[in-house]
Structure 1
Amino acid sequence: MAAASRRSRLPSRVTSRRKRMPFKSPFTLVLVVLTASRCFADDDHEMEEFLKREFSLTKPYQGVGSFGSSHWELMGDAMVTTEQVRLTADMQSRQGAVWSRIPCHLKDWEMQVHFKVHGQGKKNLNGDGLAIWYTKERMQKGPVFGNMDNFTGLGVFVDTYPNEEKHLERIFPFILAMVGNGSISYDHERDGRPTELGGCNAMVRNLKHDTFLFIRYIRRRLTVMIDIDGQHEWRDCLDIPGVRLPRGYYFGATAITGDLSDNHDIVSLKLYQLTVLRSKKEEEEEEEEEITIPSVDNMELLRSGDGEEGMSSIALFFTVLFSMLGCIFLLIIGLVVYSHWSESRRKRFY
């Protein structure tokens, strides 16, 4: 891979540290180089990466959608153009998808998504969004951004329309992640808040520059970053440890429109295999614990934290309100008692 493209894909916290500085001696130069190499090795977990073309979708999309001639299959209203795979056009009631035909058995991987969301609708008059999947099921139409509900695996959603009337100061479009085990339903009315692992706002509509989504799964840790500002720098979106995803699932991308619509385009999906150095103990522990059902450690803790966050503003409002009413009530009682005391005191002097 070219050095320039490798540098552009690195998170900004790595690239921003590279500054020129004078070296006063060869010994200093050697010491700094060794220290820097150790730091970069620690940041990347001493890993190497390899582009997996059989799991990547890039131009010129040769044979995509044709039976037996491509690793990718189209579904619904999706279509291939010279510039992108259009999941949905800017029209009402459309669903489209592109799914990998080959299950992925990689232990650690990284997906870079080049996408576009654009249309004629004004702010909050567009919808509904797109999703990137790593799931047991494939090629299933449904209400969750064009995929089935109660899915098994990972979904990363680019949600462009708020369904919840009081969305608790959340700014849309919003990117969030969810892990399903086949029995967890996505809550449309609350924009997925009860089951989300985390997320971030991302103003991705109608931008003239490229927009990217970065999904990394390494050592049972899920990291999502975005590059949407045209600065070629990654911005943190969510970072969750203890995410357990089985191997052998399928990658895909889906989108859906309803009464409101947008063009949802996938320019490229690039999957990289990450080769991470592990200790013998780590390898033995992972081999002993075979993951068969997707799960997240401390998911109940994440949910309770989200619930507390959602209720904090309401609880604070009522706390302040009742505190003020209590203070006013006590003040009135105090004034009444004081007036009675003053009157009785004056009567004693007559």
Structure 2
Amino acid sequence: MAFEFPLLARFKRWCMPQDLQAFAPEQLARAGDQPWPRQLDRYVFIQYAAISTAFFVLMPRHLAPVLIGGGLLLLLGIMAESRRLWRDPSSKRVNAAIRVAGLIYMAGVFASAGLLEKAHSVAAIVVLAVLLFFCTSAWWGLLMFRQTQIKGRLRELEERDLQSALQAQLLQAQIQPHFLFNSLASLGHWVRSQDPRAAPMLEALTAYLRATLPLFNREQLSVGEELAAVREYLAVMQARLGERLKVEIDVDPALHEQLLPPAILLTLVENAIEHGVVPKLGEATLRIEGRQLKKGVLISVADDGPGLPEQPAPQAPGRGVGLSNSRLRLAQRFGERARLSLENGPLGGCLAQLRVEPA
């Protein structure tokens, strides 16, 4: 362990605060590359011009150009190091830079003592000491500002992620009860009327809840897991609608590992059942397809019901919540890479298509 005098250690802590955080590369990448403040360059070079003028007035005429040129090279090195510290600010880096600056200062002291007269040498050493002090102070100030900037950006991103997660949970909570309320309403009617379909309906609904509700607490599901939840839902609807409902599922197995926000596919299927299959008189068909394309993923849910009206009537309260929430959650997860469309199918009925482009 290196020995250090208490007074020197206290002075060092006072002059050079050591509470700077060492950011991981992932944190710097997440915070983003904020541009170097160009106005700082103008400020520094204006100060250099003022100091150069003082050198030109105070120093011998034959040495002034050399000192001014050397000062310019030194300034360029200082600014280059400042930009490096801006990209990756840490106390370890700035301490190393200060040690190098100290060595350059000592070299300047010896050079001044050997090249200049005593009076001029003392003036040069004082000027170099002032420059060293301002340089090290400026580096610490720059790093403290940069650290505050990065911490603020990381805190802002964490708060935004938390807000997005809470919003996603809220949207998800709005979707889940929709199907349950409809199913319970049918079940309650059948129980009161002693309809024999009540018992199979209750069994299917219990199996659906036991298998799927734990999945909805996750941030994302694979298409394979979502498809299993859809099959449980369709079992409930089969008990409710009987032979009226015909289901066709053709999903490429290569698509089963694709991750989506929970209940996206289930919402599309539920929408097709409630607005396409149920209103249709007689037998109705629901078809689910999934394909892995060269430019991403395509999932479609089609029904042969009445389709979309040419001039939609004003929606009842709560209608359309599932699709709008699905679009919001897809935007949170994929941004502009995901598109969810709803249109009349080429053979009648309604066609919902979800496209997810590769990153």
TM-score tier after normalising by the smaller chain length: under 0.3
TM-score, L = length of structure 1: 0.20
Instruction: Tell me the TM-score normalised to structure 2 length.
Output: 0.19
| Higher helix proportion (structure 1 or 2) | 2
Higher Rg: 2
| Structure whose residues are more often strand by fraction | 1
